[in-house]
Amino acid sequence: MQFISFMKTNLFKMIRNSRGQAATEYMLVIAVVVLGLVSAASHFIPVFNSAVAGLAHNVAGWLTTNQQMSNPQ
């Protein structure tokens, strides 16, 4: 009877420990994914910003050209 009680207690401890371990592993995986996303974003944000700035420059040029064409002097 003592053996069964001992095994039952240890089994419950192992179940609790493995749940904590799984949660910790998931948190570590999430942390690695977040670090990867931040790293990728830090590389792509300057490229994105320059592309948007170039697009804005092109649109401004088109608007100026269209305005000059519609109002000849």
> What's the confidence (pLDDT) of residue 30?
92
> What's the confidence (pLDDT) of residue 50?
93
> What's the confidence (pLDDT) of residue 52?
94
> What's the confidence (pLDDT) of residue 34?
92
Rounded to whole angstroms, how far apart are CA atoms 16 and 31?
A: 23
> What's the confidence (pLDDT) of residue 15?
65
Which H, E and C letters describe the chain, residue by residue? CHHHHHHHHHHHHHHHHHHHHHHHHHHHHHHHHHHHHHHHHHHHHHHHHHHHHHHHHHHHHHHHHHHHHHCCC
Instruction: Tell me: pLDDT of 19 over 70.
Output: no
Average pLDDT over residues 3-20: 68
Instruction: Tell me: pLDDT of 53 over 90.
Output: yes
